[in-house]
A and B are shown apart, each in its own frame.
Chain A
Amino acid sequence: MSSDGCGAPAGGVAIPAGVGDQAVVQGHVTRGGSAVRTGYARLLNDGGDFVAEVPLGADGGFRFFAAPGTWTVRVLAPGGVSVDRSVTADIGQVSAVEVSV
C-alpha cells in the first residue's frame, strides 16, 4: 500500500504477498447465515480506543492490519446493531473473527 491514501475500501485491503510481518485480524459478519453487506467493522485497542474502521465487503468481510496484542472488533449494522468480539493478534498470523448479528 502506498502512502498516498488512508482510505478504507469495503471489506478491507488485500493481504500483500502473504501474511509476512503483518498481524492480520479478519472475518465476516452474517445474519441467519447470510452475509451482512451494509455495515461497518471497527477495531478498538485494549484500552477501548478506536483504531480503525472498514465498511463491510460484499461477502460481509473485513480485514485489519494490527500489532501484536488483544483487540476488540465492533460491528455496526442498520437497526442499531452494535456487537463486540475480542481477538488476539500476532505477527505472521491471521486471526479470524466470525460475527453473527
Chain B
Amino acid sequence: MSRSDVLVDADWVDAHKNDPGVVLVEVDEDTTAYDTGHIPGAIKIDWKKDLQDPVRRDFVDRAGFEALLSERGISNDDTVILYGGNNNWFAAYAYWYFRLYGHRGVKLLDGGRKKWELDSRELVKEVPDRPRTAYHATEQDSALRAFRDEVVSAIGQLNLVDVRSPDEFAGRLLAPAHLPQEQAQRGGHIPTAKNVPWSKAANDDGTFRSDGELTTLYRDQAGLDFSRDTIAYCRIGERSAHTWFVLHELLDQPNVKNYDGSWTEYGSLVGVPIELGDGQ
C-alpha cells in the first residue's frame, strides 16, 4: 500500500472536498473545535459519544457503527477523509475503527486540523446536510485488535511498542502531561516493550515523517524485528492507533494490532509483570 492510498494533503482536500463520494469527517474527543470552525463540507464524529459504548468499556458494536454511519450519511462506497485535533490521534483511532468494520475507502488528512490551522486555511461554521444512508459493516477484523491476554502472552515473544512519552513509559507520569496525573493505576510499562513515542513519527506540524525516516526510527533505532508480529499500546488506545497507522498502513507491516485497553487496563491488572525505568 502506498502513501497516496491512505493519506491526502490539504491541497487534495481543497480540490476534492466537493466531489460526490468524498466525505470529510472531523473526529475529536472534544468537538468544541468543530463547532467553532471546520473544513468546509466536513461533518463531525465525537470520539466519546459516537464511538464508545456508553456503559461498558468498549467501542460501539457493528450495529452501532452501521447506525452511526447511516445517520451521518456515509455510504459503503464513499471515500472518507478523516482529520482531527491532537495530531490526528482520534482521527487515526477512527481510521483503525473504519478498517475494523471493513470500510476500504478511508484516508487521513496528513497533519490534521493543526496543519490546516497553522497554514491559515479556511474554516467554516456551516454544517452540511447529508441524506441518510443504509450502511452495512462487516464483523470486526480480529487481526487488527489485541486484548489483554494476548498482550501478556506477547511479552518477550512479539514486538511490543509503547507509544507514550518517555516519562509515562518510565513511570514518572501516569497520563499525558496535558492532563492531571492520576493515582488509580501503577506506573511503568509492559516488560520487553520498546518505547517509541508516537510523536517521533510526526513532524512538529503533525504530518507524518517520510517512510525512510520511519523505517530508521522503528527498525534501526528502536530495534523492532520486522519479521515478528507487533502490538502497539498507549494509555487508552488512540495514540497507539496513530502508531498502528504508521506501521500497518505506511510501512506495510502485515501483522500489527492495536491494544486499545492499553495502560489504563494493563496498569490496573492484578499480578501481571510491570517494568519501571527508561527505555534503552
Contacts and interface: CB of A to CB of B under 8 A. Distances in A.
Interface of A: 1, 3-10, 12-13, 15-16, 21-22, 38-40, 42-43, 45, 47, 49-55, 63-67, 74, 76-79, 82
B184 A10 contact: no
Given A10-B33, A67-B173, A51 B165 contact: yes
Residues of A contacting B: mostly = loop
Among A3, A63, A79, the most chain B Cβ lie within 10 Å of the Cβ of A3
B166 A65 contact: no
B9 interface: no
Contacts of B167: 45, 51, 67
Interface string B51-91: 01000010000000000000000000000000001110110
Given A1-B182, A8-B178, A47 B166 contact: yes
A8 B118 contact: no
B177 A52 contact: yes
B181 A53 contact: no
Contacts of A67: 167, 172-173, 177, 181
Interface of B: 28-30, 32-33, 47-48, 52, 57, 85-87, 89-90, 114, 117-120, 165-167, 172-173, 175-182, 184-185, 197, 199-200, 204-205, 234-236, 238-239, 264
Contact of A66 (B30, B114, B177, B238): B177
B120 to A, nearest CB: 5
Contacts of A65: 175, 177-181
Contacts of A12: 178
Contacts of B89: 6-7
Nearest to A7: B29
Contacts of B173: 51, 66-67
Given A1-B175, A6-B89, A6-B239, A76 B118 contact: yes
Contact of A8 (B86, B182, B184, B204): B86
Given A22-B180, A76-B205, A78-B119, A4 B166 contact: no
Contacts of A42: 204
A67 B28 CA distance: 27
A5 B178 contact: no
Given A3-B264, A4-B236, A6-B239, A64 B181 contact: no
Nearest to A13: B179
Query: Which 4 residue pairs are nearest across A and B when measured between Cβ atoms?
Result: A7-B29, A50-B199, A52-B177, A52-B178
5 contacts: A1-B180, A3-B184, A3-B236, A6-B239, A7-B30
B118 A50 contact: no
A83 to B, nearest CB: 12
Nearest to A20: B180
A63 B180 CA distance: 10
B85 A7 contact: yes
A92 to B, nearest CB: 12
Contact of A49 (B87, B120, B166): B166
Contacts of B236: 3-6
Contacts of A66: 173, 177
Nearest to A42: B204
B117 to A, nearest CB: 5
A66 to B, nearest CB: 5
A1 B199 CA distance: 23
